[in-house]
Amino acid sequence: MPHWIKACDADDVENEDLIRFDHEDRTFAIYRSPEDEFYCTDGHCTHEEVHLSDGLVMDHVIECPMHNGQFDYRTGEPKRSPACIKLKTYPVKVENETVFIDIGDQA
| Residue ranges binding other proteins (CB under 8 A) | 17, 48-51, 54-56, 58, 63, 65-68, 70, 80-82, 84
Long-range interactions of 66-71: CB distance < 8 A, separation 24+: 69/45, 71/41, 71/45, 71/46
- Minimum CB distance to other proteins smaller for 83 or for 99: 83
Shortest separation between residue 104's beta carbon and other proteins, angstroms: 26
Shortest separation between residue 31's beta carbon and other proteins, angstroms: 14
Whole-angstrom Cα Rg for the chain? 13
Measured in whole angstroms, the distance separating CA 11 from the mean position of its chain's CA atoms is: 16
- Minimum CB distance to other proteins smaller for 4 or for 65: 65
- Cβ pair 55, 62 in contact under 8 A: yes
Shortest separation between residue 26's beta carbon and other proteins, angstroms: 15
